[in-house]
Amino acid sequence: MHPNAQWLCALLALCAAPALAQPLYPAKTVRIIVPYPPGGGNDIVGRAYAEELTKRMGQSFIVDNRGGASTIIGAELAAKAPPDGYTLMISSGTTFAIVPNLKSKVRYDPIRDYDPVSLLATEPYLLVVHPSVPVHNVKELIALAKAKPGQLTYASASIGSGGHLSGELFDLMTGTRMRHIPYKGSGPAITDLAGGHVSMMYSTISSVHQLVVNGRLRAIAVTSPKRSPAAPDVPTVAESGVPDYDTTQWNAMVAPRGAPQNVIERLSSELAAVVKSPEVRQRFTTLGLDPETSTPQQLGDHMKRQFARYGKLIKALGIKED
C-alpha cells in the first residue's frame, strides 16, 4: 500500500473511533418530567407513552412528576436540564401557550428553551349545561345568552385556565356576554354545576362523562375542529355556527434546547409507532383523548401558532397574573 494511502486510512480510523465509541441511544434510564401532580390527564399521557417507549427502546423511561406553580416548576427544571436526551418533558398547551402569556414571572421561553419532539394527544373540552338551562345546541345557547346578557354563568378551574379561556373566546366570537365563575380546581366547579349553582362549563370529557350519561348534565358541543372519538355524536362548536372556534387542549414531548438531532428523530419515530397500537388508541379514547403524533417541525410550528393565538386572546381580555 502506498504510504500516503496508509496515512489516510489511519486518519480515517482515528476520526471514526469517537463515533463508533458512542453508545446507542438510550444507554441508560430516561427521565420524563411531567409538570403536574400524579393522576391528571397529562400524567396519564406521560405514563402511557413512557410505558410504551420502555418496551420499544430497551431502557426505562421514568415519569418524574414536578407539579406546582401552574406547571412553571417542572417547565423551568426541564429547560435547565442537560440537553443530552436523558431528560425530556411531556406537558400541555397550558405550559407552552397559556402560562407564559398569562404570568409575568416565568423563567422559561416555550419557543427558545425546548426542542420539539412530537405531539402526543389532543383533547377537546366538552361544553356541558345543567338540565335546567333550556338549550340543546350552540345556536339555542347563543340566542338565550343574547336575550339574557350577563345572566348565564360558566364555571372553570381557575382564572386563565383552558375552560375559562374557552368561555371568553366563545363570547368574543359570538357577541354574547356570560359571567365567569372561577373555582379552585375543576372538582368543585363540576360539583356546583351538577348542583345547578352555575349554568355551564367547558370540561374535559372524562371528568363529566358519567354525569352526562346519568342525565345530570347535558352535552352541547366539543371545542375541537373535528368531533372527538370519545363523543362522536356531539357536534363541534365550529360546525354548530361558530366557524374557526377551537380551544383544543394538547400534549406534547419536548427536550431541552440543544438535544442531539439523532435522538430527537429516534424519539419522534418511536412515538409515531406507539400511536398506531390499537391498545394505546383504545386506552386514550376511553379517557376522552385522541392520540396524535407529529414531526418535530410540525410540533414546533404548532407551538408557535398556539403561543401567538393565546397571547392575542389574553391581551384582548386584559388579564395578567404576577
Domains located in the chain, CATH noted: 25-123+248-317 (3.40.190.150), 125-240 (3.40.190.10)
Nearest to 206 by CA among 121, 299, 119: 121
- Cβ contact 295:118 at 8 Å: yes
- Cβ contact 252:95 at 8 Å: no
Q: Looking at this protein, which amino acid is placed at residue 157?
A: A
Give the pLDDT score at 12. Answer: 52
Q: CA-to-CA distance for 201 and 204, rounded, in angstroms?
A: 10
3-state SS class at 105: coil
- The β-bridge partners of 254 are 89, 116
Kindly state the helix (H) or strand (E) to which residue 9 belongs, with its residue range: helix 3-21
Nearest to 42 by CA among 122, 100, 116, 115: 122
- Cβ contact 146:176 at 8 Å: yes
Give pLDDT tens digits along the chain (322 positions): 555 555 545 555 555 544 444 569 999 999 999 999 888 888 989 999 999 999 999 999 999 999 988 899 999 999 999 999 999 999 999 999 999 999 988 999 999 999 999 999 999 999 999 999 999 999 999 999 999 999 999 999 888 899 999 999 999 999 999 999 999 888 999 999 999 999 999 998 988 989 999 999 999 999 999 999 889 999 999 999 999 999 999 999 999 999 999 999 999 999 999 999 898 888 888 888 899 999 999 999 999 999 999 999 999 988 877 6
Give the pLDDT score at 322. Answer: 64
pTM across the whole model: 0.85
Q: CA-to-CA distance for 259 and 87, rounded, in angstroms?
A: 10
CA atoms within 13 A on the CB side of 121: 31
Q: CA-to-CA distance for 307 and 206, rounded, in angstroms?
A: 26
Give the pLDDT score at 286. Answer: 84
- Cβ contact 123:204 at 8 Å: yes
Cis peptide before 26 (omega within 30 of 0): yes
Kindly state the helix (H) or strand (E) to which residue 195 belongs, with its residue range: none
Q: CA-to-CA distance for 74 and 91, rounded, in angstroms?
A: 9
Kindly state the helix (H) or strand (E) to which residue 250 belongs, with its residue range: strand 249-256
Q: CA-to-CA distance for 320 and 104, rounded, in angstroms?
A: 7
Region of residue 297 (phi > 0: left; psi between -120 and 50: alpha; otherwise: beta): alpha
Kindly state the helix (H) or strand (E) to which residue 169 belongs, with its residue range: helix 162-174
